[in-house]
């Protein structure tokens, strides 16, 4: 009987039932009371703590940003100044080119006239040597035809005749008048100074003598 008592489990539970040591520890250590649970607070639930103050790293980042913006602003100002200088130089160059174009616009015309001057010089030199008036006269007439032909062909300058034509205030300038009973309209009787057109536009009016019909 003594041996059977020693082999029997020490607990009084039902046969085959084994108690866990963890259950014993849990049963021996009850959980916190409701009062203790209220005293435990989560770190995220605290509202009385002050906000995080700026750190040294954030201050350095702000300083770098300001420096970068200042450098960018300075570069934009320099670009603007360069553009203004380029525009001013362009404007001055355009004014200079326009003045030169006006100043030298008649260059080719004057170059063509130099050949006519050469012809006059040769005619005068020939007349001095020969003392031939007829030859000199014929030479001057030839030069005059060459000059008017060159101006009309290359530059559109054309001389027009007015004598015998009806008076046109757009083309004629009446210097004197003469009453004429045989004419019903005003007609150019004499051409004192030739008129010229430049590309079909009157460049210079002709100075003429005009008839005055009877009764006017």
Work out the angle at residue 75's Cα, subtended by the Cα atoms of residues 69 and 77, and round it to the nearest 5 degrees: 105
**pLDDT digit string, tens, across residues 74-115:** 999 999 999 999 999 999 999 999 999 988 888 999 999 999
Res. 181 pLDDT band, cuts 50 70 90: confident
Radius of gyration of the chain (CA): 60
Inter-helix orientation angle 107-130/133-155, to 10°: 170
Say whether domain 156-216 belongs to CATH 2.30.22.10.
Answer: yes
pTM for the model: 0.55
Question: Percent of the chain, pLDDT > 70?
Answer: 73
Q: How many residues does the chain have?
A: 216
183 and 212 Cβ atoms separated by less than 8 Å: no
> H or E stretch including 145?
helix 133-155
């Amino acid at each position: 009987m003594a041996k059977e008592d020693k082999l029997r489990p020490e607990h009084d539970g039902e046969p085959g039932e084994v108690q866990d040591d963890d259950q014993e520890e849990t049963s021996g250590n009850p959980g916190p009371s409701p009062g203790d649970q209220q005293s435990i607070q989560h770190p995220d639930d605290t509202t009385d703590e002050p906000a995080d103050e700026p750190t040294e790293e954030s201050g350095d980042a702000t300083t770098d940003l300001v420096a970068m913006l200042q450098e960018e602003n300075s570069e934009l100002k320099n670009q603007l100044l360069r553009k203004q200088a380029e525009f001013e130089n362009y404007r001055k160059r355009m004014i200079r080119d326009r003045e030169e174009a006006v100043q030298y616009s008649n260059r080719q015309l004057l170059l063509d006239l130099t050949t006519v001057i050469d012809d006059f010089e040769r005619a005068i030199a020939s007349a001095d040597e020969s003392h031939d008036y007829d030859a000199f006269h014929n030479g001057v007439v030839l030069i005059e035809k060459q000059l008017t032909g060159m101006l009309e062909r290359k530059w559109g300058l054309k001389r027009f005749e007015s004598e015998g034509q009806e008076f046109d205030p757009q083309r004629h300038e009446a210097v004197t008048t003469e009453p004429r009973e045989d004419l019903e309209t005003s007609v150019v009787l004499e051409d004192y100074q030739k008129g010229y057109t430049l590309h079909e536009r009157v460049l210079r009016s002709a100075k003429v003598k005009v008839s005055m019909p009877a009764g006017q």
